[in-house]
Amino acid sequence: MIEFWMFNAMALLTVVPALLAVTVKNVFHAVLWLALSLVGVAGLFIILGAEFLFVVQILLYVGGIVVLLLFVVFLSGRPSDWKGRSSNEQWLGALLLSAVLFSSLSAVFRMMPSAKPVTGSPGPAILSLARILMKDWALPFEILSLVLLAALVGAVYFTRPDQERKGGGPW
Amino acid sequence: MVTLYHYLVLSALLFGIGLYGVLTRRNALLILISIELLFNAANVNFVALNRYLYPGQPLGQAAVLFVIAVAAAEAVVGLALVLALYRTFRTLQIEKIDLLKG
């Protein structure tokens, strides 16, 4: 029973801030609503027994990506950007498309095998998680570090001032 | 009683919200925010399916770790591109960024 109410609370904490994050006009507020929605997703991870993912979600998303987004909010944008509508003219079509996608996904999910609700708390998954990452999926794990390195180099390249970029960029 | 269906519907709802944001936002930064919502919808699905269909074998959680790492790389490069766009065009309104429009 307590799981049911926790699920409801976390679902509310996820969906309502997400709705606000895609509708509010102020960019700063949208980033803050996104952070709250990510906290809700972290709560869902806890209910699902993925405590390591909870930590990663808080550290990486709420602590890392959201702060990065806030920095970009401060560094870019003009006051004239925040005037006028925050959504474009296609909002009705987009709303219809999203609603159709949601309802069809829900219909498909109803055909999923109705798994029995798991009872009892799961044991700590971190040991087997480490075994998967370091043993079974060791090669993808190392490739991922290359991806992160490429992202780092790309970010440094794109944000260099113009005069330092000697003939490299297209503009 | 919370079943698998609850989590799947919740993630579909989150995905729909994110898709609406991607399609309607006029600011490049806000589109990136909506993409983060899409990533999180997928992550909720991964963890819920792992918990209900294959408990005791956290392959889905490992997949979520990979998704989070790739999402971090995407956010870093995307934000660098947003900053470069702002330096070049002095705006983030995507309908004003029309260099390739004939």
- Least confident stretch, A120-129, B50-59, B92-101: A120-129
∠ at Cα A156 (B89, B99), nearest 5°?
25
CA distance B73 to B77: 6
In this structure, what DSSP letter does residue A116 have?
P
Q: Is residue B48 part of a domain?
A: yes
Confidence category of residue A104, pLDDT binned at 50, 70, 90: very high
CA distance A166 to chain B (A): 15
Q: Is residue B101 part of a domain?
A: no
Q: What is the pLDDT of residue B64?
A: 95
B80, A64 in Cβ contact below 8 A? no
Q: What is the pLDDT of residue A163?
A: 61
CA distance B32 to B75: 7
Q: Is residue B80 part of a domain?
A: yes
Return the structure tokens found at A17: 């801030």
Q: What is the pLDDT of residue A59?
A: 94
Question: Measuring CA to CA, how many Å separate A90 from each of A18, A24, A97, B8, B29?
Answer: 20, 17, 11, 28, 18
| CATH number, position B24 | 1.10.287.3510
Task: Please tell me whether residue B93 adopts helix, strand or coil conformation.
Answer: strand
Smallest Cβ–Cβ distance between A81 and the set B27, B32, B79 belongs to: B27
Task: Please tell me whether residue A1 adopts helix, strand or coil conformation.
Answer: coil
Confidence category of residue A96, pLDDT binned at 50, 70, 90: very high
CA distance A86 to B81: 21
Q: Largest Cα–Cα distance of chain A, in whole Å?
A: 64
Task: Give percent above pLDDT 90 in chain A.
Answer: 60
Task: For chain A, say whether B54 makes contact (Cβ under 8 Å).
Answer: no
CA distance A6 to A26: 30
Q: Is pLDDT above 70 for A118?
A: no
Q: What is the pLDDT of residue A153?
A: 94
Chain A positions touching B48 (Cβ under 8 A) are 48
Closest by CA position to B48, among listed A95, A135, B40: B40
CA distance A157 to A69: 18
A8, A32 in Cβ contact below 8 A? no
Task: For chain A, say whether B87 makes contact (Cβ under 8 Å).
Answer: yes
B19, A97 in Cβ contact below 8 A? yes
A8 alpha-carbon distance from chain centroid: 20
Q: What is the pLDDT of residue B34?
A: 95
Closest by CA position to A86, among listed A29, A41, A14, A48: A29
Locate the chain A residue with the closest alpha carbon to B19: A98
Q: Is pLDDT above 80 for A103?
A: yes
Confidence category of residue B11, pLDDT binned at 50, 70, 90: very high
Q: Is pLDDT above 60 for A165?
A: no
Q: Which of residues 137-156 of A touch B (CB under 8 A)?
A: 137, 140, 144, 147-148, 150-152, 154-156
C-alpha dihedral sign at B55, B53, A13, A30? positive
Q: Testing the interface with A: which of B43, B61, B92 to mutate, by most A Cβ within 10 A? A: B61
Confidence category of residue A127, pLDDT binned at 50, 70, 90: confident
Q: Span A131-148, mean pLDDT?
A: 93
Q: Testing the interface with A: which of B19, B57, B65 to mutate, by most A Cβ within 10 A? A: B65
Q: What is the dihedral of CA B81, B85, B88, B92, to 10 degrees?
A: -160
Confidence category of residue A126, pLDDT binned at 50, 70, 90: confident
ipTM, interface predicted TM-score of the complex:
0.93
Q: Is pLDDT above 70 for A115?
A: no
Domain count, chain B: 1
CA distance A139 to B66: 12
Q: Is residue B13 part of a domain?
A: yes
Q: Is residue B88 part of a domain?
A: yes
Task: For chain A, say whether B27 makes contact (Cβ under 8 Å).
Answer: yes
Task: For chain A, say whether B35 makes contact (Cβ under 8 Å).
Answer: no
What domain range includes position B35? 4-96
Q: Is residue B102 part of a domain?
A: no
The tens digit of pLDDT for each residue in B24-76 reads: 998 899 999 999 999 999 999 999 999 888 887 889 999 999 999 999 999 99
